[in-house]
Structure 1
Amino acid sequence: MKVVFIGAARAGKTTIILNMLYGICNQKYKATIEDHFNFCAKLPDGKIQVLDIVDKSGTDEFPVMRDLRIRQGEVFVVVYAVDSRESFQYAVRMCQKIKAVKDNERAPIILVGNKTDMSSERSVTYEEGYQFLLSWKTCFFIETSARLGDHIERMLHLLIVRGDPNNERAPIILVGNKTDMSSERSVTYEEGYQFLLSWKTCFFIETSARLGDHIERMLHLLIVRGDPRFLLEVELALAR
């Protein structure tokens, strides 16, 4: 599977890749023109998914090369830094560029808001990234901290599931409801997430129907997850 990482300079693309593949964090910045990585991921069904990853330059200095990689790509990870509005605007332009070059409204894109560890300097809110997500039917959104390793494993899961072209699957969204009953919780978030990892076709979200928490996000998952003709929702009650 050909994966193309695109984003503004200093958004943390290379750091995300190094953390995702090797569990290391290199905080020394080095401008990238183009780097290549190969990674073999073992899927829950035992099969091996080979990721051919291209880390593209964060500038528009080589537009012909960039457009070539977009045409060759199968899945796109568009990265911005939450402490840089300029990088978010660049990410939006790159999402538009991907769909224009691919001429495909269903080009699989994962939008990644990186550097959540820089919360005191945040200039792009989670809600802004999420609202952009809602306007793109084939886009998924996640925030990460490559420096701390936060949500990197979840991003890898999204990457594998989102881009597998040979995956014949019944789409399932696993919903852990009643998060407002936290004092009586008997099922942890980690248990739901570990179950998610064992099911290649499943997505997981926690909600509070009583408070309305994350209901809109679940609706988005329901829309983008697949053909609603055969969508199956599974609800897991966290507090019984």
Structure 2
Amino acid sequence: MAQAAAPGTSPQRPRPSYMYKVVLLGSMSVGKSSLAYRYVRNDFRELLPTVGCAFLTQTLDLDEAIVKFEIWDTAGQEKYQSVSHLYYRDAHAALLVYDIANKQTLSRAKLWLEELEKRFLPNEIVIALVGNKTDLATEREVTTEEGEELARTKGLLFMETSAKSNHQVNDVFMAVVQELLRREEEKASKPSPHGRSTVDLRGSGERTWCCRS
């Protein structure tokens, strides 16, 4: 026979589990791979350019839920542009990364945003604009205000980071997961047959390679 809860307490509700696909998009050399590596391994490396895409996972054991991130680190080279949609298909979140010391990379991030807007319905994907390499502040070409303004007008999350100094790297991923969970709560109050969250909690921290040419 099940034991009754003690007076004045309520049975603890089981935490939900979610799996989310997160893609990193942006120009070559803006630090997408370094951001992903810093987040998963808490280490910094000057990584070679990604070939096609790299795949990492990270599991978060939060008070409100267990969340597994599938992080797709995409190549920034132009030659992969024609197949890029294969990488972000069915994504739940995207980080649009640019280099604060290279204004051209912000223009490229805007083009990625246009691509996402064509392929996803409004509010179907969480998008964060990420100005990376704050350690190069003396070489800054993109002001914080420029990034904030773009994010505000497009309804994006925004944060400036440095994979090298570990500035706000965890924070940007946590902001994404908090927004994803907020939307889960919203969906729970309005059930939808089109939800794409699934449970898959096998391990964390693996790194495998895919999409090699």
What TM-score does the superposition give when structure 1 sets the normalisation length? 0.65
Match of 2:168 among 151, 159, 162: 151
Structure 2: how far apart are the matches of 1:30 and 1:96?
24
**Quick check: 1:4–1:73 contact (8 Å CA) kept in 2?**
yes
Distance 1:30 1:167 in 2: 35
Asked if the contact 1:70/1:101 (under 8 Å) is kept, the reply is: no
Matches within 5 A, 1:40-189: 40-45=59-64, 47-102=65-120, 104-106=121-123, 107-137=125-155, 139-164=156-181, 167-168=184-185
Distance of 2:152 and 2:51 partners within structure 1: 30
Q: How far has the Cα of 1:165 moved from its partner?
A: 7.2
User: How many pairs align?
Assistant: 166
| Higher relative contact order (CA closer than 8 Å, sequence separation 6+) | 2
Deviations 1:196-226 (A, max 9, x none): xxxxxxxxxxxxxxxxxxxxxxxxxxxxxxx
Q: Deviations over 1:48-96 (max 9, x none)?
A: 2111111111123123421122222110011000001111110111011
Instruction: State yes or no: 1:38 paired with 2:57.
Output: yes
Q: Is the 8 A contact 2:28 2:49 kept in 1?
A: no
The CA RMSD over aligned residues, in Å, is 1.6
Structure 2 unaligned spans of 5+: 1-19, 187-213
Residues 145-184 of structure 1: per-residue CA shift (max 9 Å, x gap):
1100011121121121122376316xxxxxxxxxxxxxxx
Q: Is the 8 A contact 1:32 1:58 kept in 2?
A: no
Q: Structure 1 counterpart of 2:133, which letter?
A: K
Paired amino acid for 1:8: S
CA change 1:63–1:29 in 2 (3 A) is: closer
